[in-house]
Amino acid sequence: MSAPAKRPPADVARRGAGAARSSAGAAPRRGVESVSYRIAPIDPHAHLFEVTLTIAQPDPQGQRVALPAWIPGSYRIREFARHVVSIDARGADTRALRLRKLDKHTWQAARCDGPLTLVYRVYAWDLSVRAAHLDATHGFFNGTSVFLRVLGQEHQPCEVWIEPPAGDACAGWRVATTLPGAGARRHGFGRYRAADYDELVDHPVEMGRFTLAGFEAGGVRHEVAITGRHDADTARLCRDLARVCAQQVRLFEPHTRRAPVERYLFLVMAVGDGYGGLEHRSSTALICARNDLPWRGQRETSDGYRSFLGLASHEYFHTWNVKRIKPAVFAHYDLQQENYTRLLWIFEGFTSYYDDLMLVRSGVIDHDAYLGLLAKTISGVMRGPGRRVQSVAESSFDAWIKYYRQDENSPNAIASYYAKGSLVALALDLTIRIRTGGKRSLDDAMRLMWRRYGRDFFARREGLAEDEFPRLLEEATGLRLDAQIRSWAYGTAELSLVPLLRAVGVEPGFGPGDQGPASLGAKLATREGQLTITTAYTGQAAQRAGLSAGDTLVAVDGLRIDERALKALLARRKPGDRLRVHAFRRDELFDCEIELDAPPATDAKLKLAPRPGARAARLLAGWLGGSRPARASRAP
């Protein structure tokens, strides 16, 4: 997930759209691989990459090439081919070849003996972790946005020449990627290679003048490359990330304590406002608000920094869970269309559970802070009536058309396989810990999946079958939890977290939050100066009165209304009171009477029990780690 954000305007000197120079001073030579790409930031001001694809042995019947419709990890059809602005084909004698478009993603070249060369330009102006972006300050791309797939030759090794931009304005640019170098120096332009197309598009590339820092964890080098203006304390960032990464490596490999990669790269894009990340096999692309990064001299852990660490932890956890342990249907992606699984509640939900859990177990945040984050997740899930309508298994399956394409009715219709999935993980984890006296946990299931599917994934390409998880959980823990999984993940039953949390020494409480004593049963926001309903919750006061998302409220009980006035008014009313509301739907004025609801008690508060029993204290220490003293020792 990633929020859109704006970059500061480019202020670098102008250059023409001239041809790119050869890479890193070395003369480019014909690739030894049969599929060879050359990518150049040909015109940063026009946001254009130029790619030259050479296919040594094209299909004699007419080679077909296609751009993916989606990028793994982000389950939405994006049709990256819509950003190809021009494309030409040449045969062996550099004569122009006819190129026919077959469908929205696919081209076919006229028959030729080879080599076949395609030269195309891709518009790159999407500042997200999912696509490509280029201006005079930096370039970023995912292979799915820029590298045409050579149909029938996806399993061939390929080489990529990454070219620097021409002109002095871009002097000093470097490259950050985990694509294996094949002549290019570390952080240099030049020749890289990939074992196949799947690997080629699984190493995003950043180029520009980024800040580079690094640390060791799990026996391997980790790097952080930060692009965008920032004043981050990179030493603190590396210290904290090293602890989180080491914690995750220990979870999966308690004996060897070895990371599953040769090296790892956090690509961080710091912007004014933004949040998102996308996982890859040995790197991740993150986008964050620059103020979320810790600054030099900052001592405390701000909410923003905690959320950044949670994001980094989430994407790093995917190195195991979804990049190597996968649903069987993801073992070989079909990049041209939706790939359906009911298991994203495991691959995204469990990852969302472990992301913050790894922060507390590594000691980067304390128990109280962790419980605060957990309470926020519980509150968020409880506020959405959609959890009673859709299971997280259904939500996983329909991610393509629902979770990833949300609208005003989504809170009423969708259960988040991220947030609710993480609570399913919590409920399973605590159940296992409680029933086995702390001898087993969800960690054992993660390790079993890792040993069975993850460790050798790239050699065997096998994944978790759609119905396999209950059996696997039993094998890992000795417990049959089929009924719980059926009801929590495949049904819409409430998760009954309260007794589970109490058994591990956490006191949960639920209140109405800061909504005041009475509720409209709607989410409101000020849009273009107008108090607008953004969601009318199913069956609640606003909807019963006939109000809808998009309606703008102008007056209540004869007085002009805005957000502040509404809050003050609701504070003076009680459930059952009636309000006369004047509102616009489009340009039509209407009025209605609302009978106020009691605000639902969805605001969770979690605190450590002041005097937990010995068993609860032991379970808590096993769950959250014993690095921080529990509040019990400080309580009166």
Residues that bind Zn ion (CB under 5 A): 348
- For Zn ion, give the closer residue by CB, 348 or 394: 348
- For Zn ion, give the closer residue by CB, 357 or 617: 357
Query: Are 348 and 354 a contacting pair, CB within 8 Å?
Result: no
CB of 318 to Zn ion, least distance (A): 6
- For Zn ion, give the closer residue by CB, 418 or 469: 418
- For Zn ion, give the closer residue by CB, 199 or 348: 348
CB of 319 to Zn ion, least distance (A): 11
- For Zn ion, give the closer residue by CB, 43 or 348: 348
Q: Name, in order, each residue with C-beta under 8 angstroms of 391's C-beta and a sequence gap of 6 or more.
A: 415, 489, 490, 491, 492
Q: Which amino acid is at 240?
A: D
CB of 97 to Zn ion, least distance (A): 42
- For Zn ion, give the closer residue by CB, 52 or 321: 321
CB of 279 to Zn ion, least distance (A): 6
CB of 348 to Zn ion, least distance (A): 5
289: which strand partners? 271
CB of 419 to Zn ion, least distance (A): 12
Tokens 């009165």 -> residue:
545
Tokens (6 digits) for 52? 């030259």
CB of 314 to Zn ion, least distance (A): 5
- For Zn ion, give the closer residue by CB, 348 or 366: 348
Q: Name, in order, each residue with C-beta under 8 angstroms of 447's C-beta and a sequence gap of 6 or more.
A: 251, 252, 254, 476
Alpha helix (H) residue ranges in 173-269: 197-200, 234-252
52: which strand partners? 38, 119
| 419 half-sphere exposure, CB direction, 13 A CA radius | 20
Distances, alpha carbon 92 to alpha carbons 51, 95, 118, in Å: 18, 7, 11
Cα separation of 533 and 548, whole Å?
7
CB of 392 to Zn ion, least distance (A): 14
**What stretches of 466-569 adopt beta strand conformation (E)?**
506-511, 522-527, 530-536, 552-556, 559-560
CB of 387 to Zn ion, least distance (A): 19
CB of 276 to Zn ion, least distance (A): 10
> 3-state DSSP call for residue 103?
coil
- For Zn ion, give the closer residue by CB, 137 or 321: 321
Q: Name, in order, each residue with C-beta under 8 angstroms of 95's C-beta and a sequence gap of 6 or more.
A: none
Tokens 């993940």 -> residue:
489
Cα separation of 457 and 323, whole Å?
9
Pairing verdict, β 283-289 and 263-271: parallel
Query: Are 547 and 540 a contacting pair, CB within 8 Å?
Result: no
Query: Are 517 and 571 a contacting pair, CB within 8 Å?
Result: yes
Burial, 165: exposed, middle or buried (Cβ in 10 Å; 0-12, 13-18, 19+)?
buried
533: which strand partners? 524
Tokens 């026919």 -> residue:
100
Tokens 């859990």 -> residue:
357
- For Zn ion, give the closer residue by CB, 157 or 310: 310
- For Zn ion, give the closer residue by CB, 243 or 318: 318
Q: Which residue is nearest to Zn ion (CB)?
A: 348
Cα separation of 362 and 304, whole Å?
18
- For Zn ion, give the closer residue by CB, 202 or 348: 348
- For Zn ion, give the closer residue by CB, 80 or 347: 347
CB of 373 to Zn ion, least distance (A): 16
- For Zn ion, give the closer residue by CB, 59 or 348: 348
Q: Name, in order, each residue with C-beta under 8 angstroms of 15's C-beta and a sequence gap of 6 or more.
A: 44, 45, 136, 165, 166, 167, 169, 170
109: which strand partners? 99
CB of 391 to Zn ion, least distance (A): 19
> 3-state DSSP call for residue 125?
strand
Tokens 């997740």 -> residue:
377
Burial, 505: exposed, middle or buried (Cβ in 10 Å; 0-12, 13-18, 19+)?
buried
Angle between helices 351-361 and 234-252 (to 10 degrees): 110
CB of 353 to Zn ion, least distance (A): 11
Instruction: State in Å, rounded, how far the first CA of the chain is from the last one.
Output: 43
CB of 322 to Zn ion, least distance (A): 7
- For Zn ion, give the closer residue by CB, 352 or 412: 352
Alpha helix (H) residue ranges in 148-286: 197-200, 234-252
Helices vs. strands in the chain: H and E counts, helices first: 18, 28
Cα separation of 37 and 159, whole Å?
6
CB of 317 to Zn ion, least distance (A): 8
